């Protein structure tokens, strides 16, 4: 069989621990035999980040801006324990945070739906993709405890020296708490554009919800910015694609989600996204079956698994024990990136290969062969539990059948 050739390089960001092991297996068994992989490789493994003073993360983000598409392996975000474990020069920031800031992107998380792993909500038939606005609100707040009676005000002092404005937050008669939040038009606009772009890219409806009836300035600003950008830049494109933009109140959205069938994108303010993404991912089954795409308003895409480096399995692996780590989300990160590269470079064989690899992965699970995490929750009778490598080899076998 002739290998599929690529044009533009794909930005490849390698990572840490168990997912780094899976990364290698996926490339060897599922990609390199079929595709003449053209990647620009960046090693975001913690040792190399430390050795380069984290410059490699910045270089990888810049390469994503240059080429447009990246695939990333899970990486360690250092904490105190990692400082000693890896003898680090510094407690480097989360690579995902660095890359997201440089691309000005929004993260979309979508469950991988497969027969045999049934969502807890029985009417959810298709994935619900959550987009979380990852800037501001309670995550960048200023808060105080108020010890005793006194006034709290919001004061705005214009930089140009014009007159201050102030409003009363509360005239405290006793002790209490207070909090100040902010957000930026720029950031909300980027968030909105990323959401509209991704809806068009995946041909799914877009939902957005806030509490604008109660928060008539703050939340209303989000609603207005979305509405304005939609009217001016996306309305016609949405009509042409046969998709809709739907705005409602957050409580109405939550009620509707429970009765919906899925198959749409739900854009959430920062806090709603934090909370709802955990609810949706647990209801769909497993963190190991969740993909994640970072989409910038300029149309750059970075694909990865939503889970981490699966540290506990890695330590077993290091001791020579057998692991049964689920590689599905990491495989789907590769297929997402390859399909996108195929679309942008007009290589239909590459996109078709990505489809086939996804099909082979799902068919393997549907045939009853799966990793331990899925065997624990599947509705399939007597599943065959495979180790990390054998699961990938089972997918390879299906893939070869499908490509014949």
- For Mg ion, which stretch binds (CB under 5 A), given 185-193, 278-286, 303-311, 393-401? 278-286
Question: DSSP labels for 40-57?
Answer: EEEE-SHHHHHHTTTHHH
Candidates 52, 62, 181, 311: give the one binding ligand NAP (CB under 6 A): 311
Beta bridge partners of 50: none
Q: Which is nearer to ligand NAP, 47 or 251 (CB)?
A: 47
Site string for ligand NAP, 65-104 (x = CB under 6 A): ---------xxxx------------------x--------
Binding partner of residue 368 among Mg ion, ligand NAP, none, CB cut-off 5 to 8 Å per kind: none
**Residues in the chain, total:** 404
Separation between Cα atoms, residue 265 and residue 262, nearest integer Å: 9
Binding partner of residue 96 among ligand NAP, Mg ion, none, CB cut-off 5 to 8 Å per kind: ligand NAP
Beta bridge partners of 143: 179
- Residues near Mg ion (CB under 5 A), total: 2
Report which of 345, 353, 366 is spatially closest to residue 399, judged by C-alpha positions: 353
Question: Counting contacts by CB under 6 A, is residue 312 touching ligand NAP?
Answer: yes
Pairing of strands 106-111, 128-132: antiparallel
Separation between Cα atoms, residue 350 and residue 356, nearest integer Å: 10
Contact 73, 19 (CB under 8 A): yes
Question: Counting contacts by CB under 6 A, is residue 331 touching ligand NAP?
Answer: no
Report which of 134, 231, 138, 230 is spatially closest to residue 188, judged by C-alpha positions: 134
Q: Which is nearer to ligand NAP, 75 or 106 (CB)?
A: 75
Residue with tokens 């997402």: 336
Separation between Cα atoms, residue 205 and residue 224, nearest integer Å: 19
Candidates 278, 322, 397, 401: give the one binding Mg ion (CB under 5 A): 278
Question: Counting contacts by CB under 6 A, is residue 20 touching ligand NAP?
Answer: no
Least distance in angstroms from the C-beta of 49 to Mg ion: 24
Q: Which is nearer to Mg ion, 77 or 387 (CB)?
A: 77
> Where does this chain bind Mg ion (CB under 5 A)?
274, 278
> Where does this chain bind ligand NAP (CB under 6 A)?
74-77, 96, 287-288, 304, 307-312, 325-326, 373
């Amino acid at each position: 069989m002739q290998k599929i050739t690529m044009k533009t390089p794909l930005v490849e960001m390698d990572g840490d621990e168990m997912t780094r092991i899976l990364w290698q297996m996926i490339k060897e068994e599922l990609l390199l035999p079929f595709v003449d992989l053209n990647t620009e490789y960046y090693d975001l493994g913690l040792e190399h980040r430390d050795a380069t003073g984290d410059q490699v993360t910045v270089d990888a983000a810049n390469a994503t801006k240059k080429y447009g598409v990246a695939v990333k392996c899970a990486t360690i975000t250092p904490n105190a324990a990692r400082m000693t474990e890896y003898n680090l020069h510094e407690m480097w920031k989360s690579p995902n945070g660095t890359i997201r800031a440089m691309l000005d992107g929004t993260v979309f998380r979508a469950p991988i739906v497969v027969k045999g792993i049934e969502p807890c909500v029985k009417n959810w038939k298709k994935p619900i993709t959550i987009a979380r606005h990852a800037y501001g609100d309670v995550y960048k707040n200023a808060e105080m405890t108020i010890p005793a009676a006194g006034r709290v005000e919001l004061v705005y002092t214009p930089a140009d020296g014009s007159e201050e404005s102030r409003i009363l937050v509360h005239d405290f008669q006793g002790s209490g708490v207070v909090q100040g939040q902010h957000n930026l038009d720029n950031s909300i606009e980027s968030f909105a554009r990323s959401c509209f772009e991704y809806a068009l890219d995946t041909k799914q409806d877009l939902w957005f919800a806030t509490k604008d009836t109660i928060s008539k300035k703050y939340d209303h600003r989000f609603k207005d910015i979305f509405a304005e950008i939609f009217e001016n830049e996306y309305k016609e494109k949405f009509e042409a694609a046969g998709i809709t933009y739907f705005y409602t109140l957050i409580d109405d959205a939550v009620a509707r989600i429970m009765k919906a069938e899925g198959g749409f994108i739900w854009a959430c303010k920062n806090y709603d996204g934090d909370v709802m993404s955990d609810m949706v991912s647990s209801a769909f089954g497993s963190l190991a079956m969740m993909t994640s795409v970072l989409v910038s308003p300029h149309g750059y895409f970075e694909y990865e698994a939503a889970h981490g480096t699966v540290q506990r399995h890695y330590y077993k692996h290091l001791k020579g024990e057998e692991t049964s780590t689920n590689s599905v989300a990491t495989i789907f990160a590769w297929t997402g990136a390859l399909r996108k590269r195929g679309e942008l470079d007009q290589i239909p064989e590459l996109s078709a290969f990505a489809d086939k690899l996804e099909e082979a992965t799902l068919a393997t699970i549907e045939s009853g062969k799966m990793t331990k995490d899925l065997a624990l929750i599947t509705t399939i009778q007597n599943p065959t539990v495979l180790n990390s490598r054998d699961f990938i080899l089972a997918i390879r076998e299906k893939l070869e059948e499908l490509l014949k």
